[in-house]
Structure 1
Amino acid sequence: MFRALRIHNYRLFFLGSVVSNTGTWMQRIAQDWLVLQLTGSGTALGVTTALQFLPVLLFGLYAGVVADRFPKRALLLVTQAVMGTTALVLGVLEVSGAARVEHVYALALVLGLATAFDNPARQSFVVEMVGKEDLPNAVGLNATAFNLGRVVGPGIAGLLITAFDDRTGPVFLLNAASFVGILGALVLMRPEELKTAPRVARGRGALREGLRYVRSRRDLCTILLVTFCFGTFGMNFQVTMALMAQQTFGKAADGFGLLGTVMAVGSLTGALLAARRERPRLRIFLGAAIAFGVLEIAAGLMPTYALFAVALVPVGIASITALNSANALLQLRADPALRGRVMALHVFVVFGTAPLISPLVGWVGEHVGPRWSISGGGVLSLVGALAGAAYLLRAQRAGLPLGAPPAAERPVPVAAAQSG
């Protein structure tokens, strides 16, 4: 289950990620709670989430070109340093009593800009550390690191906020310190052991080339479209869980943090199961996406806080199974020279559409009810997953190719096109 950890560079990356992810999840809880303290508005919570993901919408696809063009390790050193700095600034503002919602908005935007360039570089960097053979295991372990932080971080954040009389500043400062883990891991890596992909030469058309490549692949298109549906409409937990905790069940910060921890238990379980699989499969991805939609609808209908918390465990299992499967499938099926751009599209469909939908989700939760936000997202996620499964089934019955197009139809990499 842990075979990728035998690789020195990946072992450092994994350990650093556990530390950093814990701090990141602490900040997510603290940021949402601070916005609710400052405004009491679900719409403001949605706006904060939207601003954090707006750069992914605006620059996410170009970030894939950057990931294919520059050394990914150097890129990650820059993006992670910027993300840690935003946490430090927000912590200082809150501790000094100067924090206003405008500050949260501005720093969420800066954090989102760093994240937009961080995500495709980080995801496509995994295969450079471990190679294709160990990639599915490493993707599962990445999700394990992410969700270990998700299990521990929200609960710690809720307890700290309560212990400091509803102050969130100490949580932001601890998150800033946690970035030392991942930055140290990147610095201590052995560059000669990385299996670097060929870099894209400078020139026009690199982004269009990536889009044409994905469009020529039925399998990649379906994975991305299904992921778009549950990522955009179903995975708005930053908004919906905060509103459910505060408005539906009347809970304080510790109750909100506990919901994040409970859901992370399910996500961690899904990540560990993913790490055990030898190869990702399309049917597992589609089955998990369908299950996610059904389970989210059910979670939104739960009558009590305890039942809602219990329902979040299988929701977490299904969501991380679908996301991990999509991640591994895309990386293994994509041309190495285009992998950064393909993964940028993946990040875009999961997070880049949040600026468009999060304010609406917050408005619906505030004015109609949080249950409508959750169950409605589940319905739209389920429709997308069923449509994707039906499309692939029809294509298979018609004998249409799902994988790579014939060699004559494949796009010519930019670097190769310019070398002659």
Structure 2
Amino acid sequence: MQKVRDADGSAQTGYRGLLRNHEFAGLFAADVASRIGSQLGKFALAALVYERTRSAALAAVTFAVTYLPGLLGGPVLSTLADRLPRRGLLITCDVVRAVVTALIALLGDHIPLALGLLLLAEFFRVPFGAARTAILADVLPAERFAAGNALVATSQQAVQVIGFAAGGFVVVLVGSPAALGVNALAYAMSAVLLAVFVASRPAPERPAGAARHPILRDTWQGLRIVRDTARMPSLFCLLFLGPTVLATAEGLALPLAADLGLGDQGAGILLAAPPLGSAVGLLVVGRMSAPRRNRLVAPGAVAVGLCVAAAGLAGPAALVVAALLLAGLAMGHVAQLQAAIVGLVPAGARGRVVGLANTALQLGQALALLLAGVIAQATSSRGVLVGAGVAAGMAAVTVVGRDSFGRRGALPEPEIADDLPGGGTVAPRLPGPAGAQPAGTQPADVRPAEAQLAGREVEHRPAG
């Protein structure tokens, strides 16, 4: 892989080098196919529901249904990514979604049944997302995870920007049932790519003597890991703030566009600006070395909120769009937050922690969309943007000030104590990025995190 040197001497690898990794290339292509199919399918079903019922409310329900599985069962369903072979779980989820979507295409005239099938398909999206992120950390070395995850996240932003426009074109061209059939084929293609390119691995190992617990206990253990791992709560807070405040701007795009005299087309521009900026920001930050990414966490987290507030204060429409674009660009710091979270978690708990993060994000975005509209109705769209942006910026300042992000050079790698059944503790390892220890070595006062999940007594020695 082609490497260049940063000013601080850290080696970094270009994105072309990532795509030469056949497993990553297969995961990446499968994720793109799956997301394109999902976006197309949601649009096609919403169009079909509206065509059959002429009910705007039912058409909106079609999109709302996609949020329910993550909110209702996200933490529990994500635990499957730590209990089952991840490649097999990914393929199973795609195959089930392909079959269910094909049934929707055939039975679309029965609207309640079609919505129920959509809900079923979306439940399988939850463990798919957790397993994809967890297996990405298995496929890529620790120092390349941030770049790989940033590339995947960039493709997701691109699909979000392009997907609905392309969905409308496809639906007009071939009709909603055929578009749903294309969605089913996309899921099937994703399953084939995963089967061909991704190596088979066993389920995440449990330490010798560890018993398999009920799934709810494993889910609770994931919550304990997030709570007790050094700096993890702060990382979750920062990961929550940026997307949530941007969702406020998304929810107010239509009234803000009306206020600016832009109309519906202008609302589309306002909606496209943040994900477009995010795509660029993630690509740029993902290529940086870990120390540089870590130094960007604090200013990036604060800048997202301040840019959203600036969008509320800006006068001309061009400045509003520029502010939202910059808010998306500042979201590039999320590449480091996600890499730090995955690096701090033992391999056998990644699925649960990723699932909890995804659930927190969806909950925050759903609440932001709801509250932004309600408060704007009583005040003004611009006032809500200013208030939400300033509040998010101040919250970010509080979090980064407490944990001093970027001042220590790298995030510590944690040591997870046994399976945290009741009062387990977490002690930080020696400061350094995830994966920084030479292969096959451990400091005398550090035990491998995976070995701590056995549910047995573990000797703790004070660091240093």
Tell me the distance in 2 between the aligned counterparts of 1:160 and 1:256: 22
Tell me the distance in 1 between the aligned counterparts of 2:254 and 2:113: 20
* Partner secondary structure for residue 360 of structure 1: helix
2:151 matches 1:141: yes
Q: State the match for 1:298 in structure 2.
A: 310
List aligned pairs for 1:188-203, cutoff 5 A.
Answer: 188-192=196-200, 197-199=204-206, 201-203=211-213
Q: Identify which of structures 1 and 2 has the higher relative contact order when contacts are C-alpha pairs closer than 8 Å and 6+ apart.
A: 1
Tell me the distance in 2 between the aligned counterparts of 1:237 and 1:86: 34
* Partner secondary structure for residue 289 of structure 2: coil
Tell me the distance in 2 between the aligned counterparts of 1:168 and 1:69: 37
Is the 8 Å Cα contact of residues 296 and 375 (structure 1) preserved in structure 2? yes
Q: State the match for 2:336 in structure 1.
A: 325
List aligned pairs for 1:178-217, cutoff 5 A.
Answer: 178-192=186-200, 197-199=204-206, 201-204=211-214, 205-217=217-229
Q: Offset at 1:5?
A: 1.6
Residue 126 (structure 2) aligned to one of 116, 121, 131: 116
**In the TM superposition, what whole-angstrom CA distance separates every residue of 1:322-360 from its partner, at most 9, and x where no partner exists?**
332221111112222222222122212212444555433
Is the 8 Å Cα contact of residues 101 and 118 (structure 2) preserved in structure 1? no
List aligned pairs for 1:256-405, cutoff 5 A.
Answer: 258-279=269-290, 281-302=293-314, 307-319=319-331, 321-364=332-375, 370-371=381-382, 374-393=385-404, 404=414
Q: State the match for 2:88 in structure 1.
A: 74
Is the 8 Å Cα contact of residues 87 and 198 (structure 2) preserved in structure 1? no
Tell me the distance in 1 between the aligned counterparts of 2:104 and 2:317: 31
Tell me the distance in 2 between the aligned counterparts of 1:104 and 1:242: 29
Q: Offset at 1:139?
A: 1.0
> Which residue type is aligned with residue 362 of structure 2?
F
Q: State the match for 1:126 in structure 2.
A: 136
> Which residue type is aligned with residue 76 of structure 1?
L
* Partner secondary structure for residue 191 of structure 1: coil
Q: Give the number of equivalent residue pairs.
A: 406
Tell me the distance in 2 between the aligned counterparts of 1:222 and 1:352: 17
Q: Offset at 1:183?
A: 1.7
Relative distance call for 1:108 and 1:392 in structure 2 (3 A) is: farther
Q: Offset at 1:56?
A: 2.0
Is the 8 Å Cα contact of residues 247 and 365 (structure 2) preserved in structure 1? no
Q: Offset at 1:274?
A: 2.8
Tell me the distance in 1 between the aligned counterparts of 2:326 and 2:344: 28
Larger fraction in helix: 1
Relative distance call for 1:62 and 1:374 in structure 2 (3 A) is: same
Q: State the match for 1:5 in structure 2.
A: 19
Q: Offset at 1:35?
A: 8.5
* Partner secondary structure for residue 404 of structure 1: strand
> Which residue type is aligned with residue 241 of structure 2?
C
Q: Offset at 1:226?
A: 2.1
Q: Offset at 1:28?
A: 5.8
Is the 8 Å Cα contact of residues 346 and 450 (structure 2) preserved in structure 1? no
Relative distance call for 1:88 and 1:290 in structure 2 (3 A) is: farther
> Which residue type is aligned with residue 60 of structure 1?
G
Structure 2, gaps ≥5 residues long: 1-13, 419-424, 427-448, 459-464
Tell me the distance in 2 between the aligned counterparts of 1:40 and 1:248: 25
Is the 8 Å Cα contact of residues 197 and 337 (structure 1) preserved in structure 2? yes
Tell me the distance in 1 between the aligned counterparts of 2:107 and 2:378: 31
**In the TM superposition, what whole-angstrom CA distance separates every residue of 1:217-272 from its partner, at most 9, and x where no partner exists?**
231110002222334444356644456567875645x6655555444332221121
Structure 1, gaps ≥5 residues long: none
2:166 matches 1:156: yes
**In the TM superposition, what whole-angstrom CA distance separates every residue of 1:82-118 from its partner, at most 9, and x where no partner exists?**
4445655666677x6x65xx67864664344223222
Relative distance call for 1:92 and 1:234 in structure 2 (3 A) is: farther
> Which residue type is aligned with residue 12 of structure 1?
G
Q: Offset at 1:275?
A: 2.7
Tell me the distance in 2 between the aligned counterparts of 1:158 and 1:181: 22
Is the 8 Å Cα contact of residues 234 and 381 (structure 1) preserved in structure 2? no
Tell me the distance in 2 between the aligned counterparts of 1:295 and 1:146: 22
2:205 matches 1:177: no
Is the 8 Å Cα contact of residues 120 and 344 (structure 1) preserved in structure 2? yes
**In the TM superposition, what whole-angstrom CA distance separates every residue of 1:194-216 from its partner, at most 9, and x where no partner exists?**
59742585214323333222222
* Partner secondary structure for residue 198 of structure 1: coil
Relative distance call for 1:263 and 1:103 in structure 2 (3 A) is: farther
- For normalisation by structure 1, the TM-score amounts to 0.78
- For normalisation by structure 2, the TM-score amounts to 0.71
Is the 8 Å Cα contact of residues 104 and 118 (structure 2) preserved in structure 1? no
> Which residue type is aligned with residue 67 of structure 1?
A
* Partner secondary structure for residue 188 of structure 1: helix
